[in-house]
Amino acid sequence: MPGILQTRLQQGFRTMSWPDAPLPPLPDRFRGLPSLGDADCPENCGACLGACPTGALHLEDGRAALDTGRCLFCGACATACGAARITFTAEHRLAAASREALVVRPGDTGLPSRRVELARKLFSRSLKLREVSAGGCNACEADTNVLGTLAWDLGRFGISFVASPRHADGLLVTGPVPENMRLALLKTWEAIPAPKICIALGACAISGGPFAGHAEVHDGAGGLIPVDLFIPGCPPHPLTILDGLLALIGRIE
């Protein structure tokens, strides 16, 4: 025990200072908010559409638009685009307060709004969440768990996860919601006292991800319960998750 305490003292302060200091470094291969060129796509090209495994891309007036709620951030579309009109930036701020705001269109330069007035009014100082893993692969859950480590320390913002929905202010959902989890999700949501909020975390919880359209899944949480905040990714980086949660309660814009 003395050796453990001595080592801990030598390590010093380990919790990152963000958001009151510069961002922590992101991996070199990090793929953040997509950027789409403003020019028209070559006629009848469709290379990016065919490369996307989840149908996240579609054409609007001859130009590609990308739905980050369906995107796995695999980069296949950027590789397939011979005109190099699709790139993935290092922008980690991906969360949005509406499903439509997750669609990135050519020439977009701003960020989607993350404002949820109910959360900012009632939960700005203390937010308790009940997490439901609804058929996911556990990647989103793993990156959410990272926020509880010493380096991130989610609790310093008054945000924590609770075991009982009766003690929660809101619900955080991961996974595509298979039929076997539908009733469990609905009962958990009903057990949370009103007023309450719901967060859909990851492509599966937002749109069904790679399982979208399968007869055994409900393509995410939005078709069953009202969602207040969408945090895209497969899985979202811990910084993207934390940014979305802090924007939700009004700690950052």
What band does 217 get if pLDDT is binned at 50, 70 and 90? very high
| CATH code for the domain in which residue 159 is found | 3.40.50.12280
Q: What is the pLDDT of residues 68-101, one digit of tens each?
A: 999 999 999 999 987 788 999 999 999 999 999 9
Q: Is residue 24 part of a domain?
A: no
d(CA 173, CA 227): 10
Say if pTM beats, i.e. exceeds, 0.75.
yes
Structural domain includes residue 32: no
Q: What is the dihedral of CA 45, 111, 91, 79, to 10 degrees?
A: 0
Confidence of residue 47 (pLDDT cuts 50, 70, 90): confident
Per the structure, the count of domains in the chain is 1
Reported in sequence order, the residue ranges of 24-167 that DSSP labels E, i.e. its strands, are 34-36, 57-60, 63-67, 86-88, 103-104, 127-133, 159-161
- pLDDT value at residue 55: 94
Is 160 inside any structural domain? yes
Three-class secondary structure of residue 178 per DSSP: strand
Residues 6 or more apart whose Cβ sits within 8 Å of residue 2: none
Count of Cβ atoms closer than 10 Å to residue 44 Cβ: 5
Domain of residue 172: give its range: 117-248
Has residue 139 been placed in a domain?
A: yes
- CA-CA distances (angstroms) from residue 57 to 63, 82, 98, 186, 218? 10, 15, 18, 31, 21
Helices (H), 23-82: 47-51, 76-80
Task: Give the mean pLDDT of the chain.
Answer: 93
DSSP state of 219: S
